[in-house]
């Protein structure tokens, strides 16, 4: 029985076509800037998203860290959400390695950071305070898509106060696919539209896009070549024949963006299939992540039960199911059946 792994969209295997692209990639030493496949990916993503330059990174964590350290100096501060990956899930790297103070604020229900809260947390120029330098947002955040009107207003607010704007777009293309209807159904145009509100954007290729490794940080030529590149080297991210990996990401950029719509459809299908189960509350998914709240009394044996039926998820009282390239409709139906069996005994 093939396991239906819904723990994360990071568990995907490279497709045969992706492996072929990797095998065929021309390679060079990227520390010398000589790897044509890395350069191709960087140039393609920068152009697609409307930035001057881009830099291939081993991970999204490193990409966000290099971005924060490129925007902020020691003693500066960035405004960020309580549940943002850059703040909560990256080991406190910006504070530890960058001496950058986070100013976390609570999210609104839709995942956004309320503008009034952002404004209230921008410090005056006074020796008592850290210097507020950057607004860092995340899209999608917890699978939710930040509204375009919000991005535009948050961006204007940041600019008014002289703050730089960074987007953790680990799942930028999930957000883009979800709002593509506002861009003539073109997800690439939607991604560019989202990015137009930011000075830098970090995109993960190892999530829904299905590449084995890699993120790319986009920004101005100055930010990328003068600052981020130095931080990447210092944090140990200078790679040699990295084109092998960049080729997988480039393949994903060309072939795995539009198909994210299928993941979103399967997530909706899963949520519908769980609707109405006694002891289960399902949040309607906007992209590829389904959150399911489980009555505490019923939570204990659930993950083991699912596992015994060949279905993997994460969480306890709040389960997370993530659809991706290696999950199909039958897999989702198996997950629904296993959940029904557990909660209804059928």
Ligand X SMILES: *Cc1c(COP(=O)(O)O)cnc(C)c1O
Residue nearest to ligand X (CB): 60
Report in angstroms how near the CB of residue 94 gets to ligand X at its nearest: 13
Q: Pick the stretch among 66-74, 189-197, 201-209, 299-307 that binds ligand X (CB under 6 A).
A: 201-209
Nearer residue to ligand X within complex by CB, 108 or 295: 108
C-alpha distances out from residue 51 to 85, 244, 320, Å: 23, 24, 33
Report in angstroms how near the CB of residue 8 gets to ligand X at its nearest: 8
Which residue in 5, 76, 168, 199 binds ligand X (CB under 6 A)?
168
Nearer residue to ligand X within complex by CB, 198 or 343: 198
Report in angstroms how near the CB of residue 54 gets to ligand X at its nearest: 16
d(CA 193, CA 15): 29
Token couple for 265: 């459809």
Which residue in 77, 138, 199, 263 binds ligand X (CB under 6 A)?
138
Nearer residue to ligand X within complex by CB, 204 or 267: 204
Report in angstroms how near the CB of residue 25 gets to ligand X at its nearest: 21
Q: Pick the stretch among 110-118, 186-194, 203-211, 262-270 that binds ligand X (CB under 6 A).
A: 203-211
- Please tell me whether residue 102 binds ligand X under the rule CB under 6 A: no
Q: Please list, in sequence order, all residues whose beta carbon lies within 8 angstroms of the beta carbon of residue 222, skipping any fewer than 6 positions away.
A: none
Nearer residue to ligand X within complex by CB, 305 or 320: 320
> Which residues pair with residue 78 across a beta bridge?
102, 134
Task: Cite the beta strand spans of the chain per DSSP E.
Answer: 4-5, 53-57, 76-81, 101-105, 131-138, 164-169, 200-204, 215-219, 280-282, 289-294, 311-312, 318-322
Report in angstroms how near the CB of residue 214 gets to ligand X at its nearest: 8
Cβ distance 214 to 206 under 8 Å? yes
Alpha-helical segments (H) within 165-295: 172-178, 187-195, 221, 229-234, 243-255, 260-274
Pairing of strands 289-294, 318-322: antiparallel
Residues making contact with ligand X (CB under 6 A): 59-61, 64, 85, 138, 168, 170, 204, 206-207, 215
């Amino acid at each position: 029985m093939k396991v239906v792994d819904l723990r994360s969209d990071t568990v995907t295997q490279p497709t045969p076509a992706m492996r072929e692209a990797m095998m065929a990639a021309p390679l060079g030493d990227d520390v010398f800037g000589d790897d044509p496949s890395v350069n191709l990916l960087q140039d393609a993503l920068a152009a697609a998203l409307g930035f001057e330059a881009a830099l291939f990174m081993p991970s999204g964590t490193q990409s966000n860290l290099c971005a924060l350290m490129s925007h902020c100096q020691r003693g500066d501060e960035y405004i960020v959400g309580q549940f943002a990956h850059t703040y909560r899930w990256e080991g406190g790297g910006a504070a530890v390695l960058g001496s950058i103070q986070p100013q976390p604020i609570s999210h609104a229900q839709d995942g956004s950071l309320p503008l009034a809260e952002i404004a209230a947390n921008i410090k005056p120029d006074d020796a008592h305070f850290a210097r507020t330098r950057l607004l860092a947002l995340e899209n999608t955040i917890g699978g939710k898509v930040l509204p375009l009107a919000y991005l535009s207003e948050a961006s204007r607010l940041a600019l008014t106060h002289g703050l730089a704007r960074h987007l953790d777009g680990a799942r930028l293309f999930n957000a883009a696919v979800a709002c593509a209807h506002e861009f003539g159904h073109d997800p690439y145009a939607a991604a560019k539209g989202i990015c137009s509100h930011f000075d830098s954007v970090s995109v993960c290729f190892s999530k829904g896009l299905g590449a084995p490794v890699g993120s790319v940080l986009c920004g101005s030529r100055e930010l990328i070549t003068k600052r981020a590149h130095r931080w990447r080297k210092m944090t140990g991210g200078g790679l040699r024949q990295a084109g092998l990996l960049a080729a997988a990401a480039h393949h994903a950029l060309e072939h795995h963006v539009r198909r994210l719509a299928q993941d979103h459809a399967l997530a909706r299908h899963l949520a519908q299939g769980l609707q109405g189960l006694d002891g289960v509350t399902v949040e309607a998914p906007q992209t590829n992540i389904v959150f399911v709240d489980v009555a505490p009394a019923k939570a204990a044996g659930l993950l083991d039960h699912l596992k015994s039926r060949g279905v993997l998820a994460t969480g306890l009282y709040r389960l997370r199911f993530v659809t991706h390239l290696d999950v199909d409709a039958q897999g989702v139906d198996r997950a629904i059946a296993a959940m029904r069996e557990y909660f209804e005994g059928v």
